[in-house]
Amino acid sequence: MTLAATTDDEELVVPIANESDLNHARMVARETCKLVAIRGYQAQKVVTTVSELARNIARYAQTGRVRFRVDTSDEMIVVIAEDSGPGISNLDEILAGQYRSRTGLGRGLLGSRDLADVFDIQTSPAGTIVKIAFRYGQRKSWTTSTT
């Protein structure tokens, strides 16, 4: 698979419908890192975060997609995980680290926020959109936003 990033409008979309789609999302994350020469721990952060977000889609929303884009002007890998599931009613509790799920630790979103350079989440009963970004150029400060 070849990933090209000649303009900011190009993106690769990985549909997520079940756990088997997680491998495809992780592979695209690794290949995107290679494209912009991210290696080692920095690449592992991207792959781990993509895996957590894709797993959340498969587990809680059943279907969705993960979109990958290389923003060459800001030197960032941008990943958007989106679904049309039921939304996250206890988002504040999760992001405060006060939630423990029955199926795991409930730390996937919290960990994703901590690993990414940019984290934004929007959720409603119509679905959830998580936007994360990782800088591949000069390192800058971490930002977060929730709505």
Range of the domain at 88: 6-138
- Residue 1 within any structural domain of the chain: no
- Residue 147 within any structural domain of the chain: no
- Residue 39 within any structural domain of the chain: yes
Assign residue 13 the CATH number of its domain: 3.30.565.10
DSSP SS3 for 132? strand
Please tell me the number of Cα atoms within 13 Å of 42 on its side-chain side: 17
pTM score, whole prediction: 0.84
What phi, psi does 77 have (nearest 5°)?
Answer: -90, 125
- Residue 145 within any structural domain of the chain: no
- Residue 146 within any structural domain of the chain: no
Q: What is the pLDDT of residues 47-100, one digit of tens each?
A: 999 999 999 999 999 899 999 999 999 999 999 999 999 999 989 888 888 877
Q: What separation in angstroms does the CA of 11 have from each of 88, 101, 109, 110, 115? A: 26, 32, 23, 25, 22
Higher-scoring residue by pLDDT: 72, 7: 72
> Cα(137)–Cα(42) distance, rounded to whole angstroms?
12
Question: For residues 28 and 13, is the Cβ–Cβ distance under 8 A?
Answer: no
- Residue 23 within any structural domain of the chain: yes
- Asked if the model's pLDDT at residue 5 lies above 70, the reply is no
DSSP of 39-106, one letter per residue?
Answer: -HHHHHHHHHHHHHHHHHIIIIIS-EEEEEEEETTTTEEEEEEEE-S---TTHHHHHTT----SSS-S
Query: What is the pLDDT averaged over residues 34-41?
Result: 96
Query: What is the pLDDT averaged over residues 114-123?
Result: 96
- Residue 105 within any structural domain of the chain: yes
Q: What is the domain count for the chain? A: 1
Quote the pLDDT of residue 85: 93
Do strands 127-135 and 76-83 pair parallel, antiparallel, or not at all (unpaired)? Answer: antiparallel
Quote the pLDDT of residue 97: 82
Quote the pLDDT of residue 98: 81
- Residue 111 within any structural domain of the chain: yes
